[in-house]
C-alpha cells in the first residue's frame, strides 16, 4: 500500500553570466557600480516526483524574448506558479543557491514572494550524512552508477547571454539532464534521511516517496516522550518508529 499524497517538486536553475567592466582580467573584486548587466535566470527545469516528464521554463518561451534577451521575468512568473503548488521541493544546494537566486530575482523584478515550502537539499544532506570524496551532483550520480552531467559546448554561457536561441535550447537540455540526475540521487538518498519535513503518521514508512505500510517491527527505542516501537520498511529499508 503506497500513499503519495505530497507533491514533491525536483528542480534546478541555470543562471546567466553577468556583464561587468574591469581593468584587469585577474581582477578579483569588481566594483559594484561596474556591473553593467546583473545575472539573471535563463531557464528552470522541474519534474514532479513520480511523473516521467521533465519540464523546462525558458526565456525562449517568452513571446517577447527577442525584445529583451536579458529579462527573466517570464521564467520567474511561470515558475512561481509551479513551485507554489509543491508540498516539498528538492534541489541540489538549493538552500545555498537556487532558492536564493530565485528569491533575489523576484525581489529585483518587483514580483511577489513565494510561500514557505519545506524542502530537501541533497547537497547539504550528502554533506551531513556521508563522508564521500565530493558532494557534487555529478560525482554522486556517477558513484551510484548513473549517468553524469552533460558536457557543455565551449562558450555556451556566453552565447546564451547574447540571446542565441540554439544555445538556450542546449542549456535547457543540460538543465533537464540535471533534474533527471537529481531525481535519481534524491531517490537513492531518501532511505538514509532521518529528519523529514513532513512525517507520515502511524506505522508507515517514513520515507515520503515510499510511505508503505509493509513494515517489520524491530525492537524498541526510548526518548523523552516515552517508548517507541522501532520498525524497518520492507520495501525501501528506511527505519522509523511508532509511539506506543
Q: Which residues in this chain contact Zn ion in the complex, by CB under 5 A?
A: 205, 207, 210, 212, 233, 235-236, 238
Output 1 or 244, the one with its CB closest to Zn ion. Answer: 1
DSSP bridge pairs for 119:
89
Output 168 or 185, the one with its CB closest to Zn ion. Answer: 185
DSSP bridge pairs for 150:
none
Question: Cα 170 vs. chain centroid, distance in angstroms?
Answer: 20
CB of 232 to Zn ion, least distance (A): 9
Place of cell 538552500: 95
Output 16 or 207, the one with its CB closest to Zn ion. Answer: 207
CB of 234 to Zn ion, least distance (A): 8
Q: Are strands 226-233 and 239-243 parallel, antiparallel or unpaired?
A: antiparallel
CB of 242 to Zn ion, least distance (A): 14
Output 42 or 206, the one with its CB closest to Zn ion. Answer: 206
Contact 187, 194 (CB under 8 A): no
Q: What count of residues does the chain have? A: 244
Output 18 or 212, the one with its CB closest to Zn ion. Answer: 212
- Alpha-carbon gap, residue 147 to 180, rounded angstroms: 9
CB of 5 to Zn ion, least distance (A): 15
Cell numbers found for residue 178:
540535471
Kindly state the helix (H) or strand (E) to which residue 89 belongs, with its residue range: strand 88-91
CB of 118 to Zn ion, least distance (A): 19
DSSP bridge pairs for 9:
48, 89
Amino acid at each position: 500500500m503506497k500513499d503519495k499524497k505530497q507533491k514533491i517538486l525536483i528542480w534546478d536553475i541555470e543562471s546567466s553570466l553577468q556583464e561587468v567592466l574591469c581593468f584587469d582580467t585577474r581582477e578579483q573584486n569588481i566594483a559594484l557600480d561596474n556591473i553593467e548587466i546583473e545575472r539573471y535566470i535563463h531557464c528552470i527545469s522541474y519534474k514532479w516526483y513520480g511523473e516521467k516528464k521533465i519540464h523546462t521554463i525558458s526565456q525562449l518561451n517568452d513571446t517577447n524574448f527577442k525584445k529583451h534577451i536579458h529579462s527573466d521575468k517570464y521564467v520567474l512568473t511561470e515558475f512561481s506558479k509551479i513551485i507554489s503548488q509543491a508540498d516539498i521541493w528538492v534541489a541540489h544546494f538549493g538552500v545555498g543557491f537556487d532558492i536564493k537566486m530565485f528569491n533575489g530575482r523576484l525581489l529585483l523584478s518587483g514580483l511577489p514572494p513565494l510561500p514557505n515550502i519545506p524542502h530537501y537539499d541533497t547537497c547539504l544532506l550528502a554533506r551531513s550524512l556521508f563522508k564521500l570524496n565530493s558532494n557534487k551532483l555529478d560525482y554522486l550520480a556517477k558513484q551510484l552508477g548513473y549517468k553524469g552531467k552533460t558536457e557543455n559546448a565551449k562558450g555556451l554561457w556566453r552565447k546564451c547571454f547574447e540571446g542565441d536561441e540554439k544555445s538556450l535550447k542546449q542549456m535547457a537540455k543540460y538543465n533537464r539532464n540535471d533534474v533527471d540526475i537529481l531525481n535519481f540521487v534524491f531517490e537513492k538518498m531518501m532511505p538514509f534521511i532521518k529528519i523529514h519535513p513532513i512525517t507520515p503518521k502511524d506505522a508507515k514508512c517514513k520515507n515520503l516517496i515510499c510511505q508503505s505500510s509493509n513494515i517489520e517491527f524491530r525492537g524498541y527505542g526510548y526518548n523523552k516522550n516515552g517508548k517507541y516501537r522501532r520498525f524497518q520498511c520492507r520495501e525501501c529499508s528506511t527505519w522509523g518508529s511508532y509511539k506506543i
